[in-house]
């Protein structure tokens, strides 16, 4: 063993330095992140219970829509926690593991839960091959993981999000599930959302009035879903409107970016011609 090896061996045995004790202290923002993770877990439990009840009934795999409504309400509550944890961390204080907790919670609520919902929605109806549905669901989960990892490593010059934020991506996948029957078109739409999450398209970060608008949108969706669950005959229209608005919003932003870049290229060409 060389002296360098001995030194590295001793370094590995040394006690960790720094304020290790502070890493175990949860802040108010961390409580919101854990609430987000809990909502995602409960949403998966509700969806699994829906599948079990449908199989016990023996009438084929037709999950009760109210279970889906409950799961989506839980995910929207998780999204509210995710919206506020950063605000609370900036206003008060953040713990040493706040960012890691936030990402882990997002993987559960906005990665695994919507992917599991896609499997329950289209995997056992006989309308689509199970393998194709699992591939689409896995793409949502993998894209969400890549999106979160990239967010921690890459910062845009404008401060906006690069790629569709994972909470918005999850809500768009949920909107597709609520709005459409399982078919190849809707499955392609799910894959499209996964692609948007890992794309280079910049999405505006909710700040100030925009954050208030996002919160109001979440509250309106919770109200619509609650009405849908409690009043299925009249609630369908509400959830269809909400889901359509969500899909339209996510689709409109890339189109806006595309037109904006086209205008920029046109202005550069015109300025170069003048010079």
Render pLDDT for 144-172 as a digit per residue (tens, 0 to 9).
999 888 876 766 555 567 778 888 888 88
Render pLDDT for 29-66 as a digit per residue (tens, 0 to 9).
788 888 999 999 999 999 888 878 777 766 555 666 67
Output the 3-class SS for the chain: CCHHHHHHHHHHHCCCCCCHHHHHCCCHHHHHHHHHHHHHHHHHHHHHHHHHHHHHHCCCCCCCHHHHHHHHHHHHHHHHHHHHHHHHHHHCCCCCCHHHHHHHHHHHHHHHHHHHHHHHHHCCCCCCCHHHHHHHHHHHHHHHHHHHHHHHHCCCCCCCEECCCHHHHHHHHHHHHHHCCCCHHHHHHHHHHHHHHHCCCEECCCCCHHHHHHHHHHHHHHHHHHHHHHCHHHHHHHHHHHHHHHHHHHHHHHHHHHHHHHHHHHHHHHHHHHC
Q: Worst-scoring range by mean pLDDT, 4-13, 51-60, 67-76, 130-139? A: 4-13
Q: 185: pLDDT confidence band, cut at 50, 70 and 90?
A: very high
CB 103 within 8 A of CB 40: no
The pTM for the full model equals 0.75
Q: 267: pLDDT confidence band, cut at 50, 70 and 90?
A: low
Render pLDDT for 192-215 as a digit per residue (tens, 0 to 9).
999 988 888 777 666 666 667 666
Q: 232: pLDDT confidence band, cut at 50, 70 and 90?
A: low
């Amino acid at each position: 063993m060389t002296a360098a090896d001995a030194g590295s061996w001793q370094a590995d045995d040394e006690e960790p330095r720094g304020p290790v004790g502070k890493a175990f202290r949860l802040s108010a923002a961390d409580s919101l992140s854990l609430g987000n993770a809990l909502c995602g877990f409960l949403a998966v439990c509700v969806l699994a219970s829906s599948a079990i009840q449908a199989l016990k009934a023996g009438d084929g795999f037709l999950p009760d829509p109210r279970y889906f409504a409950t799961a989506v309400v839980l995910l929207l509550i998780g999204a509210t926690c995710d919206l506020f944890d950063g605000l609370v961390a900036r206003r008060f204080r953040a713990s040493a593991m706040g960012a890691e907790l936030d990402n882990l919670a997002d993987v559960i609520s906005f990665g695994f839960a919507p992917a599991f919902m896609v499997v329950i929605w289209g995997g056992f109806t006989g309308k689509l091959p199970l393998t194709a549905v699992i591939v689409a669901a896995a793409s949502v989960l993998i894209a969400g993981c890549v999106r979160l990892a990239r967010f921690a490593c890459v910062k845009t010059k404008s401060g906006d999000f690069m790629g569709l934020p994972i909470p918005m991506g999850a809500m768009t996948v949920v909107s597709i599930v609520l709005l459409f029957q399982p078919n190849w078109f809707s499955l392609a739409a799910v894959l499209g959302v996964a692609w948007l999450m890992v794309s280079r398209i910049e999405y505006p970060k909710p700040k100030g009035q925009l954050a208030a608008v996002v919160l109001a949108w979440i509250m309106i969706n919770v109200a619509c879903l609650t009405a849908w669950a409690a009043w299925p005959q009249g609630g369908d229209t509400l959830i269809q409107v909400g889901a359509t608005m969500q899909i339209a919003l996510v689709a409109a932003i890339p189109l806006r970016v595309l037109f904006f870049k086209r205008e920029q290229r046109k202005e550069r060409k015109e300025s170069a011609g003048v010079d």
